[in-house]
Structure 1
Amino acid sequence: MILLQATQIARLFGADVLFQNIQLEIDSHARIGLVGRNGAGKSTLLKILAGIEAPDKGTIAKNKQATLSYLAQDTGLISDQTVWDEMLDAFHSIRMMEQRMREVELAISQTAPNDANYPRLLKEYDHLQHDFADQNGYGYENEIRSVLHGFQFDASYYDKSIETLSGGQKTRLALAKLLLQKPDILILDEPTNHLDIPTLSWLETYLQGYSGALLIVSHDRYFLDKVVNEVYEISRHKMRHYKGNYSRYLEVKAEQLTSELKAYEKQQEQIAKLEDFVARNLVRASTTKRAQSRRKQLEKMDRLDRPQGDEKSAHFLFEIAKPSGNIVLQVEDGAIGYDKQHILAEPIQLDIRKTDSVALVGPNGIGKSTLLKSIIHKLPFIRGEVHLGTNVTIGYYDQGQADLHSNKTILQELWDEHPTTPEVEIRNVLGGFLFSGQDVEKTIPLLSGGEKARVALAKLAMNQENFLILDEPTNHLDIDNKEVLENALIDYEGTLFFVSHDRYFINRVATKVIELSENGTKVYLGDYDYYIEKKQEERELAALLQLEEEEEKVASIGKQSFQQSKEQQKQVRQVRRRVEQLEMQLAEIEEKITNYQVEMANPTILDDHVKLQELNDLLENAQEEQLLLLDQWEQESIILENLEK
């Protein structure tokens, strides 16, 4: 079933076209990825589809019954409530239903069975129970706990005011609340921003099982491969649709480009032959009719445009002025944190050698950026020794671009650090990072996040250091420019130590992964997929060891029980039998109670007040008997528990 349909959508800025002739359909259970360069109009299109902005041309048709929610990138939850109370609001209708059930229960208990309202109350309660169970009314609090846990909020956060949380935490809570609300159409703009790798993995799994339709903009290729099964691409003001995940989209796009290029070249050959025939034969009396026929054929031909392929990408290399020694960086028994009483991670052991490409991973807040800043002496180590190798020169990329000057132009940002370099060389470097002509005169504050990232990378490329320390270098880059950066780093002859949450990037660039935790560092000699494989093996081994430990514990308890006196064992068996008999009796009485309740709800019985009163008496007697049995069972269970200790 189609939930939303966009037809001939366009966004214009005067004579400039951002996009036009956009066709898009969202079916129930759709899993759509929207991709394209920064500035292609992805976020604008999402706002139009969500009804936040109106298109300049075209129409949006949405199923009237379908609910839709939209989350803009980096949108934090604004609320003065606690985390738990805010999440409860996602289940407002269920909680109202629960409140009504309590009211009806009270009304039933206070109404005589022969009262005219009694059947109506029973019928309403039956409907409420059915709807409440159908909408997970008995499990919504567990669902809240599960989603909060997935976004790294444990029970200690439940009573905290949202106003006191960080911007990243508010962003995660905004997404958590939307997931709990379960709209029929969920539109997400860069939902993976600010998520660490464990949270990303959890979100992927959750979205794979999401009941509604998904439309997602993301530059995380690993995430798109796991979640989406169709891709819409905005490029050169137009849109194309591809079936499959992101990797399949790349394959089909490449095949499509090859096919279109062949068709274009074949037509060009045909045009050249026809034009040549017309030129040679038009003036000859004997062949003029055939030449005119060929000319008409040329005039009627629907000429193909030359396939343009990908849009222009950045192109650059990271070179080194001089090589370092074999040992690049060593950290022994390091500790990072706020002070000696608030240590984030220790002991930190690092041994990075020449040409290593090392990814540093770990949960948010563990101190990855802090460790990088400690290595470059922006922050002190609380404990430990740091040794840089011979001829090591460090280039540092700050994810916040704090090293960029707010009062400078792009050209000045590079030229002031390399004043002896000719302007034409500076411009050539900037051209490789997609800054040309008057673009280089833009001041830093006017730049987008992606443009600032490219300026910072351009500065890094000009410095030609042999040890690059990079903190989230792919943030703000679109997918194409991420791939350019990856290729440049793969070809880099120096040493890399970087933090990234982009698993695809880690997989392509890293030759070694170091995991940072509160217990220090652990080294994995491979890429991201190897790291994940080894982590799974570690979990399986830990589970096996725990199982063996529990089996040993059970065996030990069994041995102790065997050594008990025969009299005590006899008492245990007798009490256990009494407990089992009471449990059987309780099961029987519970079945009776259920049968009475079902029978009383039968429409034919509701009209028979005598039979209804008879059943009500039986029900009350059974409930009294149940209470007595429960009391006996509880007493015997306590005796059994004491005997078995």
Structure 2
Amino acid sequence: MSLINVTNLTFAYEGSYDTVFENISFQIDTDWKLGFTGRNGRGKTTFLNLLLGKYKYVGNISANVTFEYFPYEVKEQENFTIDVIKEISPNSMDWEIMKELSLLDVEEDILYRQFYTLSKGEQTKALLVAMFLKENSFLLIDEPTNHLDAESRKKLSNYLKRKNGFILISHDRSFLDNCIDHILSINKTNIEIQKGDFSSWWENKKRQDSFELAENEKLKKDINRLSKSAKRSSNWSNEVEKSKKGTTNSGSKLDKGYVGHKAAKMMKRSKSIENRQQGAIDEKSKLLKNIESSDRLKISQLVYHKNKLVELENVSIFYGDTIVCEDVGFSIEQGDRISLKGKNGSGKSSIIKLICGENIKYTGTFRKGSELKISYVSQDTSHLKGNLTDYALENNIDESLFKLILRKLDFSRIQFEKDMSSFSGGQKKKVLIAKSLCEKVHLHIWDEPLNFIDVISRMQIEQLLLEYSPTLLFVEHDSEFCKNVATKFFEL
């Protein structure tokens, strides 16, 4: 066991006035299975790059381990997988490699295939095996579940559960809960570490948020009451002070010493109330700094004139002479939220393309309502560029609602002025989802919408979908999201 010490760390990107981290300090035990969570754009990947020594920073990071980053960039993709693994971990034995692969249910024949011929899931598993076999290494694992289907995610999570000595960035709650024992969270104003899994951290956060909201209301009332008392005391002392120059009702002169004493007493009381009021204001200022925004939104979907929107009966899809999927049968009715499930390569995206109107070769019966309006969210975000105002105008959507949804999903106002090409992967996905929710359509179709999107935003998207109940067909490998959102499941 050794410690990674972070002391007084401050960092800002060159040319930026905004600090990503400011004077933060904490310790990490190198035996921990550490989950790393926080909103998109808060600095998770930046922190991993600081550990790797990629940027200059103020403060100190000390460690007695070698940091290894995943995803690892394989430059010679034509090499056999065994050679790629040996390049990362030169001292690993063949039997060790095969044992680790077996824990992930990966056939050892992949070792003697060229690396580029492996699926994304097989590549992920092979690289993680290599990195865990490397001696004295501490792994920085950045979103390993992207492009993995549900079954592959479960196997990878079970594999990580057997290991220790890593920081894991993942936005899949079930995945995190199964394989971590500590959480490192980047909040709005600080960084904190807690023992436990994601769910226990989230419950603690909700309790803390509820406590702070209650305290905030109590202090608001106290400040209001004390303000009124201070005003009354000030008025009384002023009136008493004025009376020092007057006389009593009987015409006799006032005892100015008595009046002065009384005025001083009232001033003292007024000062005491003022101090208590300031103390309440100071306490109030410590609250609500890490509570995430939850503005209410008004979203509406078009109502189709028939209950059934789409129907497939015994549909088989072909690319050339190759069958992608066969005998598919399901229907989409108004109000359905259907989770389309299946392993990678089972034909989910092909079904979506068929429904969206692409020229797909198929047999069987496919019916789609006439004049049916569909909003599609693709996996690809590479086309996004320019500013959000122009994007809203080009897509004929309500700019105010569009930006309100993005604000709810943790976009800062300064983000609205930036070019979308500079956004993180998660921020780009949020743009596509916000656009889709603004569109006046009968049916939303989302293809892996949550890739790169942070956990808190995922939960907020869940709440939006449950509150406004749009008709939705979606492909998503986040099991918690599917369980919470879907009204029906169809597996290919």
Q: Fold-level match, TM-score > 0.5?
A: yes
Residue equivalent to 1:209: 162
Q: Does 1:60 align with 2:12?
A: no
Partner of 1:33, secondary structure, is strand
Unaligned runs of 5+ in 2: 241-260
Q: Which residue of structure 2 lines up, in the alignment, with residue 49 of structure 1?
A: 51
Counterpart Cα distance in 1 of 2:439 and 2:224: 51
- Kindly provide the CA deviation profile for residues 587-609 of structure 1, in whole angstroms up to 9, marking residues without a partner as x: xxxxxxxxxxxxxxxxxxxxxxx
Contact 1:328 1:352 in 2 (8 A): yes
Q: CA deviation at 1:494?
A: 4.1
Contact 2:7 2:61 in 1 (8 A): yes
Distance 1:310 1:262 in 2: 13
Cα gap change, 1:229 to 1:17, in 2 (>3 Å): same
1:515 corresponding residue in structure 2? 491
Which one of 312, 315, 332 corresponds to residue 334 of structure 1? 315
**Pairing 1:307–2:288 present:** yes
Q: Can you give the 5+ residue segments of structure 1 that lack an aligned partner in the other structure?
A: 96-136, 517-645
Please state whether the residue corresponding to 1:352 is helix, strand or coil: strand
1:146 alignment counterpart? 102
Query: What is the aligned partner in structure 2 of residue 22 from structure 1?
Result: 24
What residue number does 1:233 align with? 185
Normalized per residue, which structure has more helix?
1
- Count of aligned pairs: 457
Partner of 1:619: none
The structure whose RCO (Cα within 8 Å, separation 6+) is larger is 2
CA 1:213–1:324 in 2, change beyond 3 Å: closer, same or farther? farther
Compared with structure 1, are the counterparts of its residues 156 and 94 closer, same or farther at alpha carbon in structure 2 (3 Å cutoff)?
Answer: closer
Of the candidates 57, 81, 92, which is equivalent to residue 90 of structure 2? 92
- Partner secondary structure for residue 92 of structure 1: coil
The answer as to whether partners of 2:177 and 2:197 remain within 8 angstroms in 1 is yes
Q: Which of these residues, 361, 373, 380, is aligned with residue 381 of structure 1?
A: 361
**Residue 325, structure 1, aligned to residue 306, structure 2:** yes
Match of 1:477 in 2: 453
Q: Residues 220-273 of structure 1, C-alpha deviation per residue, up to 9 Å, x if partnerless?
A: 122122222322221224212333211111211122223334445555555666
What is the distance in 1 between the residues matched to 2:414 and 2:5? 40
Pick the aligned partner of 1:288 from 264, 267, 283: 264
Equivalent AA in structure 1 for residue 440 of structure 2: Q
Equivalent of 2:474, from 485, 498, 516?
Answer: 498
- Trace 1:42-441 onto structure 2 (pairs within 5 A): 42-56=44-58, 58-62=59-63, 64=64, 66-72=65-71, 75-79=72-76, 80-89=78-87, 92-93=90-91, 95=93, 139-146=95-102, 149-150=104-105, 154-163=107-116, 170-181=123-134, 183-210=136-163, 212-266=164-218, 276-277=229-230, 279=234, 285-286=261-262, 288-289=264-265, 290-291=268-269, 294=272, 298=276, 301=279, 303-304=282-283, 305=285, 306-312=287-293, 316=297, 318-340=299-321, 342-389=322-369, 392-401=372-381, 409-418=387-396, 425-434=398-407
TM-score, normalised on structure 2? 0.81
Q: Name 2:250's counterpart in structure 1.
A: none
Q: Which 10-residue stretch deviates more, 314-323 or 181-190?
A: 314-323
- Cα–Cα, structure 1 residues 366 and 316, in superposed 2: closer, same or farther, change >3 Å? farther
Alpha-carbon distance between aligned partners in 1 of 2:179 and 2:40, rounded to the nearest angstrom: 21
What's 1:464 paired with?
Answer: 440
The TM-score, its normalising length taken from structure 1, stands at: 0.63
How far apart are 1:198 and its partner, in Å? 1.0
Aligned mates of 1:321, 1:354 — CA distance in 2: 10
Does structure 2 conserve the Cα–Cα contact (< 8 Å) formed by 1:324 and 1:354? no
- Provide Cα deviations, 1:33-92, integer angstroms capped at 9, x if missing partner: 221111111111122234443432x21121x3x4432225xx543335201232345653
In 1, Cα distance between equivalents of 2:98 and 2:415? 53
Q: Shift of the alpha carbon at 1:339?
A: 1.8
Offset, 1:184: 5.0
CA distance, structure 2, for counterparts of residue 93 and residue 447 of structure 1: 40
Distance in 2 of aligned mates of 1:443 and 1:89: 39
Cα gap change, 1:282/1:219 in structure 2, threshold over 3 Å: closer, same or farther? farther
- Relative to 1, partners in 2 of residues 1:209 and 1:295: Cα closer, same or farther, differing over 3 Å? same
Report which of the two structures shows the higher radius of gyration computed on alpha carbons: 1
What's the RMSD between the two structures over aligned residues? 3.2
